[in-house]
Structure 1
């Protein structure tokens, strides 16, 4: 298997019934069966039309604004091997300069819908198999990605860490989603940000703890929990190691 299916559903939207910014922990493919409008994926705005599909990487915020009645098929999947897929809005139509073996993704998606509806024996395994085929199709069809993706492969991971530093973060999953082994991912992440993934998250936790110590009267236990530390003792030990102060002393010294 190359991928695991996380969710699959269809939905219809009317103009004005927009989808607000949200994010997922897996890749999402949104296929526009009908309609037109706009979608924001990360920092970029796109227009969509019938037979386009949006591909969004894990952790990237995205929304949807409908200019006409829109029907979509939404699919979430997690690659199980080291694949890196670009994000953006792509056409599922064939153009004259396409390679001879080009195949649209819609028939594959409709096959997945049929499996989900019928729920025949081993349908869950078949859905994962079809999701694996989809990943391979996308990788071949969108080979090379986009310049923005090549220049900023770690943006979605950094966004995800900034939003979820107070929770347990699976760096192995982030590495796989970015298309690297964990060791290679750690090396490249440090080259990109100046810190390893673990130290980056710790830095976000310590920074948030400083703010809470200065600006609130939350208990030390409450702040430890809010910032994602496993225990009060771990929080106090790491805070002192990183700042030179105990949490209590830092609070007393703060204006």
Structure 2
């Protein structure tokens, strides 16, 4: 880990408003023996809102699969040499028995719903998720009903760990995860927005350039109005706002990990006006670039 990161105390849990369900060894054993839940059952789950300084590393991996579903802010998952970026309305499933490290970005702490699960059907649902290309970040449209379903599972387990409640909770969690994995098939209208995923990938690959909304829409063979509407539905932001947020996020990395000056970073990310960049940076992070650099590069 970078020595500058080590200077900031990271935490595994203990966030204001968090919800956590940890099943006892006896309860997990009962779930593993129950005919309805033996092939898929959770071991723990929860919700971490605005999890500032969240950081978790398992050098030996976990014996369970781990779902991370981000609804706000941003963070990352590292496995081997691969790094995956989680942003709002995306999810990732960490495979079992794989060393990993994940955490929330300091500038934009994430809010995540998470769950650990095991069983033969857990293996199968993970295979459907990973497909032939391996694990990756998957976009998912925001749906309040889906959030309510997750919270309902937590509520059930907060009140009882009896066999019937465990059955309901595990069946519901399987349905929840399946709704993520099979969303493309069950919500085809959303995947008319594959062009937006492509556009976001293009933005990330060309983070040092600037593009007009007309150029971005034309690249995806969409009208400006339709492109803008789809982009707003999928991300909650206009294309320009989203691209600017990506640039600010990249500038945070430069400020934290490099010795570049603010002026150099500004130029590298394509900002001709340093004052505009400073205003944008403060709007997104709550700090000016110089204050951010002073606070996090101690």
Bigger CA radius of gyration: 1
Q: Which bin holds the TM-score, normalised by the shorter protein? A: 0.3 to 0.5
- TM-score with structure 1 setting the length: 0.44
Q: Higher relative contact order at CA 8 Å, sep ≥6: structure 1 or structure 2?
A: 1
Answer 1 or 2: which has greater helix percent: 2
- TM-score with structure 2 setting the length: 0.39
